[in-house]
Amino acid sequence: MSDDPERITILAHEFTAAALEFHRGRMAERGYRMEGSITPRTFKMIEGLNAPTDLFDGAPLFAVTFVKRDESDR
């Protein structure tokens, strides 16, 4: 059994950097496929019962998630 995580999410300031990570990081060779699309998102953190606060100063970042392929994906 591999110690690799089931999902890896990459955040980038530019779309191109996020898109190129599939090739640069050799994600296919490592057994991952891209899940969904690369989209700009903002991120927030909730601590206890407090209101969410902005992460990364509220700046949108491009996010791409890679998920481990299972046998049916091969």
Local confidence pLDDT in tens for the 74 residues of the chain: 467 899 999 999 999 999 999 999 999 999 999 999 999 999 999 999 999 999 999 999 999 999 998 765 54
pLDDT (0 to 100) of residue 72: 57
Q: How far apart are CA 38 and CA 42, in angstroms?
A: 13
Element at 39 (helix H, strand E): strand 32-41
pLDDT (0 to 100) of residue 1: 44
Please choose, from the candidates 26, 66, 60, the residue with its C-alpha nearest in 3D space to the C-alpha of residue 44: 60
pLDDT (0 to 100) of residue 71: 60
